[in-house]
């Protein structure tokens, strides 16, 4: 289990120590390694939708309560909404999660060449159009996202995982600026694409928004560094249904889940399914036992003509450039979501008790500081 989160360099060192020292020495080294901040790192590149918000919350809760990878940065990219709105949404998400310490790097506002309009599936603001736009601002970092990805890959060589939840523009720019970035990254998970054999004769959203970016990413990719999580496979294996989302997951009594309920209110009204790509992708990143089957493939994308944006997968190729998630276990996914989003219930109950005990004492201070507060979505409507 330790190897799941340890970079190659540390695994090699531990292997050498085991040849000469007792098991206790190895465990001591690992403890020092984790405590000193050299553990696995995670960057989340997202395009500001409600599904992105859920995936980000999952990573943050997993880090805090289950010793998961350390989220070292969030990067923004155009997609579900325009990039300025993605930046605003990122600040809202981190404020709700009480993780305003995480650096935000702003990314591309447009596609590399030709973009496509958003369908605003999660609302005009990406988070359910709840008119809760007041938050305490978080200043963006000075580096743009592509430069940040390069620098972080250098700083955390072999320990950095990148999860892309939106169009691939930022990663493609980083690869063009520094083709060696892929060799320094532990793994890149790409939430995008359709496998044609699954019966969907259309273009997947994240690819449609920036087709050339996907092409650059996969042309610079390596089979042991790129894992693709296609939307078709999520639809086939991880469709948990609207009723389960509303009546089970949606009833967990925390600020985060209540916020997610409001974020998804528009998308939930459109269908009886519940199979958002981004939470599924993040679950696969954080809980690999969820995966039943993955295959090596040579994948590419059409850039021109009527087939522009359609992805191809050659599973018989002798020259694979990616791994693809083929199937996953629905029950494991359900249990993982419940575990993650229930993790902070006790903390929140304690906070609520403390708030009630001190509410009278703090009433004046709260009113005085009203301008510095941010608004948290606290309704429970789906």
> What is the per-residue pLDDT across 41-60, written as a single tens digit (0 to 9) for each?
999 999 999 999 999 999 99
SS3 147: helix
Number of Cβ within 10 Å of residue 331's Cβ equals 8
Overall residue count recorded for the chain in this entry: 382
Give the angle subtended at the CA of 182 by the CAs of 287 and 56, to the nearest 5°.
Answer: 40
DSSP string, 156-202: TTTTEEEEE-S-SHHHHHHHHH-TTHHHH-SEEEEE----GGGS--S
Q: Indicate the helix (H) or strand (E) that contains 266.
A: helix 265-268
Residue of 45, 47, 51, 278 marked catalytic? 47
The pTM assigned to this predicted structure is 0.84
> What is the per-residue pLDDT across 60-73, written as a single tens digit (0 to 9) for each?
999 999 999 999 99
CA dihedral 314, 78, 130, 104 (to 10 degrees): 110
Per-residue pLDDT of the chain (382 residues; tens, 9 = 90+): 444 545 444 444 444 444 444 555 555 445 444 444 568 999 999 999 999 999 999 999 999 999 999 999 999 999 999 999 999 999 999 999 999 999 999 999 999 998 888 999 999 999 999 876 667 899 999 999 999 999 999 999 999 999 999 999 999 999 999 999 999 999 999 999 999 754 556 789 999 999 999 999 999 989 999 999 999 999 999 999 999 999 999 999 999 999 999 999 999 999 999 999 999 999 999 999 999 999 999 999 999 999 999 999 999 999 999 999 999 999 999 999 999 999 998 776 666 555 555 444 444 444 444 444 444 444 444 5
Place of tokens 């018989």: 316
Dig out the tokens for 370 from the structure: 């009203």
> Is position 47 annotated as part of the catalytic site?
yes
């Amino acid at each position: 289990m330790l190897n799941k989160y340890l970079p190659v360099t540390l695994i090699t060192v531990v292997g050498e120590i085991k040849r000469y020292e007792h098991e206790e020495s190895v465990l001591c080294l690992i403890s020092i390694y984790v405590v000193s901040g050299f553990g696995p790192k995670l960057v989340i590149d997202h395009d500001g939708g409600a599904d992105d918000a859920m995936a980000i919350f999952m990573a943050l809760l997993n880090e805090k309560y289950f010793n998961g990878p350390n989220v070292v940065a969030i990067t923004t990219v155009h997609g579900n909404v325009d990039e300025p709105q993605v930046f605003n949404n990122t600040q809202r998400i981190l404020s709700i999660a009480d993780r305003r310490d995480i650096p935000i790097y702003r990314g591309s506002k447009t596609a590399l060449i030709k973009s496509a309009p958003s369908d605003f599936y999660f609302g005009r603001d990406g988070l359910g159009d709840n008119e809760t736009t007041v938050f305490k601002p978080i200043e963006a970092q000075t580096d743009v996202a592509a430069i940040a990805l390069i620098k972080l890959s250098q700083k955390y060589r072999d320990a950095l995982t990148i999860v892309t939840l939106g169009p691939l523009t930022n990663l493609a720019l980083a690869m063009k600026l520094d083709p060696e970035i892929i060799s320094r990254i532990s793994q890149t998970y790409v939430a995008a694409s359709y496998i044609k054999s699954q019966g969907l004769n259309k273009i997947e959203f994240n690819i449609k928004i920036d087709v050339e970016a996907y092409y650059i990413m996969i042309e610079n990719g390596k089979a042991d560094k790129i894992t693709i999580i296609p939307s078709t496979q999520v639809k086939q294996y991880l469709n948990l249904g609207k009723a389960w989302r509303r009546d089970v997951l949606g009833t967990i009594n925390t600020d985060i889940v209540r916020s997610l309920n409001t974020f998804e209110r528009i998308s939930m009204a459109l269908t009886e399914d519940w199979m958002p790509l981004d939470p599924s992708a993040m679950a696969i990143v954080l809980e690999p036992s969820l995966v039943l089957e993955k295959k090596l493939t040579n994948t590419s994308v059409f850039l021109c003509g009527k087939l522009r944006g359609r992805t191809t997968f050659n599973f018989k190729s002798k020259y694979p450039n990616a791994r693809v998630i083929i199937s996953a276990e629905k029950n494991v996914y359900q249990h993982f979501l419940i575990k993650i989003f229930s993790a902070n219930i006790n903390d929140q109950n304690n906070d609520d008790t403390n708030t009630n005990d001190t509410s009278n004492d703090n009433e004046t201070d709260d009113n005085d500081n009203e301008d510095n507060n941010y608004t948290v979505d606290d309704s429970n409507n789906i």
